Amino acid sequence: MYPVLFRIGDFPISTFGLMMATAFLVGSWITARRMKEIGLDPDLATTLLVYVMLGGIFGSKLYFAIDVSIRDGRPFLDLLLARDGITWYGGLIGATIMGSIGARIHGMKVVQLMNCVAPAAAIGQSIGRVGCFLVGDDYGKASDLPWAVAFPEGAPPTLETVHPTQIYEILWLMPVAFVLWKRRDKSPFLFGEYIAANGLGRLVIENLRVNPKVLFGLTEPQIVGICLIVIGVSSWLWFARQEEPATA
């Protein structure tokens, strides 16, 4: 585990922060390549990256602060302003909203952007999960499997070996990214396929994590996963019925 990469004075630079920055940059490069393929200005991907980054970071912090303040009664503002504590699906919502605003401002169709971003989002999320693993966050239940890992400096720390569910997500998302890239010229709505596949992986892998059950025997991430599957499949079917492909 390497939760802190180095320090600038007393200010720690976390491995998670580095991985998150890397995820955004790699995602921007993949998005630019796809935009060039369909005849759009690839330099626009860098501009839209700013919108996506701001929306993703703020959305993830806002969701985390609202969620934890409601469940644990901790001060909302303290949670919002803390360095640690983000929630991926809050980031998905925020990045989608801000990316859509950026696309409209810069004359790009929102659906075009969403489809260009889909493979990049899966790869970027995988890179982000590397950061989660390095800081010991979002791990799973206790396990004695050969690849089980202890996180003595994790969040929270554990000396007991546990399922490295961050790695499990990477092993799911990378093949998803590969399939999405192969289907980029065939799918009626590629972003719908991404969020549906994402939701399915989250629904299954969550069985090995330690989040509390909140409704119908499901954890909050599992409920979100089901919603992602429903939204992804429904939107894909809607675009499949249209005369013009969503990539056009």
pLDDT in the model for residue 233? 97
Q: Mean pLDDT across the stretch 145-155?
A: 91
| pLDDT above 70 for 43 | yes
Whole-angstrom distance, CA of residue 35 vs CA of residue 109: 12
| pLDDT above 70 for 205 | yes
The pTM for the full model equals 0.88
CA distance readout (Å), 95 to 103, 117, 132, 211, 219:
12, 11, 19, 24, 23
Query: Is 243 part of any domain?
Result: no
Q: What is the pLDDT of residues 98-108, one digit of tens each?
A: 999 999 999 99
- Percentage of the chain beyond pLDDT 70 is 94
| pLDDT above 50 for 39 | yes
Residue of 122, 134, 230 lying closest to 172 (CA atoms): 122
Query: Is 195 part of any domain?
Result: no
Query: Is 16 part of any domain?
Result: yes
Token pair, residue 82, equals 């803390």
Q: What is the pLDDT of residues 78-89, one digit of tens each?
A: 778 776 677 888
Query: Is 201 part of any domain?
Result: no
32 CB contacts (<8 Å, ≥6 apart)? 42, 43, 44, 45, 46
Q: What is the pLDDT of residues 109-140, one digit of tens each?
A: 999 999 999 999 999 999 999 988 988 888 99
Whole-angstrom distance, CA of residue 99 vs CA of residue 93: 10
Cβ atoms of 20 and 129 closer than 8 Å: no
Rg of the chain in Å (alpha carbons) = 18
In terms of pLDDT, which residue wins out, 119 or 67? Answer: 119
Number of structural domains, the chain? 1
pLDDT in the model for residue 248? 46
Query: Is 220 part of any domain?
Result: no
Query: Is 211 part of any domain?
Result: no
Query: Is 162 part of any domain?
Result: yes
Residue numbers of the domain that contains 30? 4-180
| pLDDT above 90 for 18 | no
> Comparing 6-20, 58-72, 134-148, 162-176, which segment has the lowest mean pLDDT?
6-20
Query: Is 131 part of any domain?
Result: yes
